[in-house]
Amino acid sequence: DHENVRIYTDFLAMPEKTLKQVSRNFLFADRSEELWFICDQSLLGTGKSGFAMTNHSLYWKAPMQPAHVFRYGHPLTIEFEESWLNLNGAFFDAGKSLNVRLSKLLRRLQEVF
């Protein structure tokens, strides 16, 4: 399945308004963190929901939910629900195909950290 999401790795190409919204809503990274990518899951590309990964953490915000962060190396519980994940009890949905890939990636990062 192909997910209809906007993933940014070139942050200069990302709309400035969207980047500001992402920073206000869920991406609370420390200056020392290296940003790998931002996935904007908002309907209109506003950056109000989505997720981002850095070299230290996964940040996310789902609609109607508070922002969450998971720091690699800390205890992680991944539970598959109908079509989404619970990460340490918090709702996370990157889309059907990305959920499986991200759960595998997070498990591997746990081994490294």
| Interval 10-29: pLDDT, tens | 988 899 999 999 999 999 99
Does the pLDDT value for residue 2 go beyond 80?
A: no
Spatial distance between the Cα atoms of 99 and 62, rounded to a whole number of angstroms: 14
Rounded CA separation 51/53 (Å): 7
User: What tens digit of pLDDT does each residue of 36-50 get?
Assistant: 999 999 888 888 999
- β pairing state of 85-87 and 78-80: antiparallel
Q: Mean pLDDT score of the chain, rounded to an integer?
A: 90
The pLDDT of residue 22: 94
In the chain, the amino acid numbered 78 is I
Question: Do 58 and 37 form a contact (C-beta atoms < 8 A)?
Answer: no
How crowded is residue 37: how many other Cβ atoms within 10 Å of its Cβ?
13
Q: Is the pTM of this model over 0.75?
A: yes
